[in-house]
Amino acid sequence: MPNIFADPATMVGFADQTVDTAAGSMQTMYRLNVGGSYIAAANDSGLSREWYADTPYVYGAAVGVTYQADDKVQVKYPSPEAEYAAPASLYLTSRTMGPNPKVNQNYNLTWVFEVDGNFTYVVRLHFCELLNTKVNQRAFDIYINNKTALADADVIGWTSEKDVPVYKDYATFMPDDTKILWIALHPSMSMKPEFYDAILNGLEVFKMSDSSGNLAGPNPDPSKMLLEAEILGVTQAFGIVAAICVVAYQSKKRRALGTSVSHSSGWLPVYGNSHTNTTSKSSGGKSSAAALLNPNITAMCRHFSFPEIKSATKNFDESLVIGVGGFGKVYRGVVDGDTKVAIKRSNPSSEQGVLEFQTEIEMLSKLRHKHLVSLIGCCEDDGEMILVYDYMAHGTLREHLYKSGKPPLSWRQRLEITIGAARGLHYLHTGAKYTIIHRDVKTTNILVDEKWVAKVSDFGLSKTGPTVKNQTHVSTMVKGSFGYLDPEYFRRQQLTEKSDVYSFGVVLFEVLCARPALNPGLPREQVSLADHALSCQRKGALQDIIDPLLKGKIAPDCLKKYSETAEKCLADHGADRPSMGDVLWNLEFALQMQDTFENGGKPEGADSASGSSTVSAADSMAASAAALELISEDMDEEDIANSVVFSQLVHPTGR
């Protein structure tokens, strides 16, 4: 293997110190194609590495702008050895901050990563200037954990010409109590470059072994280990034997079928296309028998036996029912002694069946995100189709809006929940190899955990988006929920990610007005919330229909931004609707306005001492709001809303 760690890494915070990267062992923690799509091992410089899209790790809604060079551009490696650092395709895509200098000076382009404490990490940043040709056209500062790793970085200054790749290595020690690694870029203020911007093409994070050669994370608390050993010693022994038997059985089963299941490492989201395969149909596709299920799909997650499920739900005790949906009833349950779960059991008479069951497993087994509900396992014994999820303590968003008897949500809570849901949908649309369209966005499919973190759920109707270049939609039969259904999709049977945007627009008005998407008991012109809210919005009478509990508690400019965002989501034509990234940015901006309103007109944290020229990653979004004020004199509101600076669009070629 070529030596790609020959040079020492600069220690962040100690410019005169370096770390010998060849002195011990290193574990790859993250390897990302910044601004680009997944790069398979077969396409990686002969070293068989996998590079993932960086979208899930970009902090906040200020994700900058992605760019992909023309296929005719040739990467000019400075030496034969340099070709092994990263494949050429990685250097042909990039993420930058955008074209507006005023905005760029007031936020950081930031990535965040979960790591183990008490280790030194090497961060390798890959750069390749694809557009600029002169020194000081684009100069920027690099921060790692809010410390300056390098000031006044200039890619052309390093390479002397464009299309020449280069990488820089930095080392940082993560204390035992620090589990989040921050990497941020900010335009250089001291150099006064021609463009106040920053660029990054690739990013790798490696964990270095400690002085004893250890790479393992921290050990569990010894006292807890002793307690568990006393209580569970014998049980664990049987559990290990049982686990070995199950693994051996599943492996033998897959070999007998001549199939295999590919599992990616647990530290990154799993990307890939959806290949749901239903071998046959029975009862019109309704719940029939587990024999119809593709074994590849059910092997993607933990398998629960039917007796385990019955035990977890006290034999499906009706008192444990926490919801009923198109698939069937959802029960609260307990597995593994004390783990609370939600268990969804298929109803044999349901219109949703084998296909939806497989789709749910396939999607959630491949996707991992803070704002997507986590699938724990499934059961297909005895003709059953059962899914086991993390338990969401606060239930559905809808339960907290009307007719549930639960305490109402404050406006700020509602904003934070819609922002979380928007983040989850934005990840579905841009974070995987191909677009994933949820197809059933509604308030009952937005769940809230014990910390009030929103999570998008129910992927049984989800569909992989266009997979062919220049294809704009997927032709498919109409599925979804009336009241939330995109009328363009209904008319043309052409599905796009903008169908999710329309549904989310209905959710936004539902959150604001605290009434169902459809209410047949109202006068005809008010039955559809989408139609009624749009009519009131255009007449300037939206205040008349908002939740009475919110009257006087919403900042006027926050309400204006929020309602305009919802209105744009409900545009008749998908092409006129914003992306989920645009929606996310606008909602976060509305939240900043609300914070300012609640703090008596001062931006949150305005009284805290600063004194540093570094824009911290945590202040990135507040700075974005301030940036809008800076440019408001030069741009009218429509220009701002449509500006590429505030767009979170991710070009299909850059996924």
pLDDT in tens, 217-248: 766 555 545 544 454 454 455 555 555 554 55
Please give the Cα distance from 462 to 440 (Å, whole number).
8
| Residue 202 near residue 144, CB atoms below 8 Å | no
| Residue 200 near residue 90, CB atoms below 8 Å | no
For residue 298, give the CATH number of its domain: 3.30.200.20
pLDDT at residue 287 in the model: 38
The verdict on residue 103 lying in a domain is: yes
pLDDT at residue 609 in the model: 36
Please give the Cα distance from 152 to 384 (Å, whole number).
61
Q: Is the pLDDT of residue 143 over 50?
A: yes
Other C-beta atoms within 10 Å of 24: how many?
16
Are residue 471 and residue 342 in the same domain, yes or no? no
The verdict on residue 246 lying in a domain is: no
Are residue 318 and residue 466 in the same domain, yes or no? no
Are residue 18 and residue 139 in the same domain, yes or no? yes
Are residue 79 and residue 166 in the same domain, yes or no? yes
Q: Is the pLDDT of residue 252 over 90?
A: no
pLDDT at residue 636 in the model: 42
Q: At which of 358, 390, 422 does a domain end?
A: 390
Return all residues near 268 (Cβ < 8 A) that are at least 6 apart. Answer: 30, 52
pLDDT in tens, 326-374: 667 889 899 888 888 988 888 765 445 677 777 777 777 777 788 988 8
The percentage of the chain sitting over the pLDDT mark of 70, rounded to a whole number, equals: 75
| Residue 495 near residue 489, CB atoms below 8 Å | yes
Are residue 417 and residue 353 in the same domain, yes or no? no
Structural domain total, the chain:
3
What's the average model confidence in pLDDT over 640-646?
Answer: 37
Q: Is the pLDDT of residue 11 over 80?
A: yes
pLDDT at residue 521 in the model: 82
Q: Residue 464: beta bridge partners? A: 436
pLDDT band for position 3 (cuts 50, 70, 90): confident
Q: Which residues are catalytic?
A: 440
Are residue 445 and residue 576 in the same domain, yes or no? yes
26 phi and psi angles, rounded to 5 deg: -135, 145
Q: Is the pLDDT of residue 166 over 70?
A: yes
Taking CB atoms within 8 Å and a gap of at least 24, the contacts of 395-399 are 395/322, 395/323, 395/447, 395/448, 396/323, 396/443, 396/444, 396/445, 396/446, 396/447, 396/448, 397/421, 397/443, 397/444, 397/446, 397/447, 397/448, 397/454, 397/507, 397/511, 398/442, 398/443, 398/444, 398/510
More confident residue, 3 or 199: 199
The alpha-carbon radius of gyration of the chain (Å, integer) is 26
Its domain, for residue 480, covers 398-606
Crossing angle of helices 580-598/411-430, nearest 10°? 160
pTM of this structure? 0.50
pLDDT in tens, 276-311: 333 333 333 333 434 445 555 555 678 888 888 989
pLDDT in tens, 42-61: 888 678 899 998 887 888 66
pLDDT at residue 346 in the model: 81
Q: Kind of pairing, strands 52-53 and 140-144?
A: unpaired
Please give the Cα distance from 124 to 204 (Å, whole number).
5
The verdict on residue 457 lying in a domain is: yes
Q: Which of 72-76, 459-463, 593-597 has the lowest mean pLDDT?
A: 459-463
The verdict on residue 363 lying in a domain is: yes
pLDDT at residue 275 in the model: 30
More confident residue, 213 or 276: 213
Are residue 411 and residue 385 in the same domain, yes or no? no
Are residue 58 and residue 118 in the same domain, yes or no? yes
For residue 407, give the CATH number of its domain: 1.10.510.10
pLDDT band for position 632 (cuts 50, 70, 90): very low
What's the average model confidence in pLDDT over 194-200?
Answer: 95
pLDDT at residue 233 in the model: 53
For residue 135, give the CATH number of its domain: 2.60.120.430
pLDDT band for position 133 (cuts 50, 70, 90): very high
Q: Kind of pairing, strands 9-11 and 14-19?
A: antiparallel
pLDDT at residue 91 in the model: 94
pLDDT at residue 337 in the model: 80
Residues of the binding site for ATP: 344
pLDDT band for position 181 (cuts 50, 70, 90): very high
pLDDT band for position 255 (cuts 50, 70, 90): very low
Type of residue at 132:
N
pLDDT at residue 628 in the model: 43
Task: Report DSSP letters for 156-196, one per residue.
Answer: HHHHSSTT-EEEEEEEEEE-TT--EEEEEEEE-SSS--SB-
pLDDT in tens, 599-611: 876 555 444 333 3
pLDDT in tens, 15-35: 778 888 877 788 999 999 999
Highest mean pLDDT among 185-189, 243-247, 395-399: 185-189
The verdict on residue 148 lying in a domain is: yes
pLDDT at residue 43 in the model: 87
What's the average model confidence in pLDDT over 426-449?
Answer: 86
What's the average model confidence in pLDDT over 62-69?
Answer: 85
pLDDT band for position 89 (cuts 50, 70, 90): very high
Are residue 537 and residue 566 in the same domain, yes or no? yes
pLDDT band for position 153 (cuts 50, 70, 90): very high
Q: At which of 606, 621, 648 does a domain end?
A: 606
Task: Tell me the two tokens of residue 198.
Answer: 């920053």
The verdict on residue 566 lying in a domain is: yes
The verdict on residue 137 lying in a domain is: yes
Are residue 357 and residue 416 in the same domain, yes or no? no
Are residue 354 and residue 484 in the same domain, yes or no? no
Task: Tell me the two tokens of residue 207.
Answer: 């964990």
pLDDT band for position 450 (cuts 50, 70, 90): confident
More confident residue, 605 or 412: 412
Are residue 380 and residue 408 in the same domain, yes or no? no
Please give the Cα distance from 251 to 260 (Å, whole number).
9
pLDDT band for position 524 (cuts 50, 70, 90): confident
Task: Tell me the two tokens of residue 60.
Answer: 């906040």
The verdict on residue 213 lying in a domain is: no
C-alpha triplet 559, 630, 634: angle, nearest 5°? 95
pLDDT at residue 544 in the model: 93
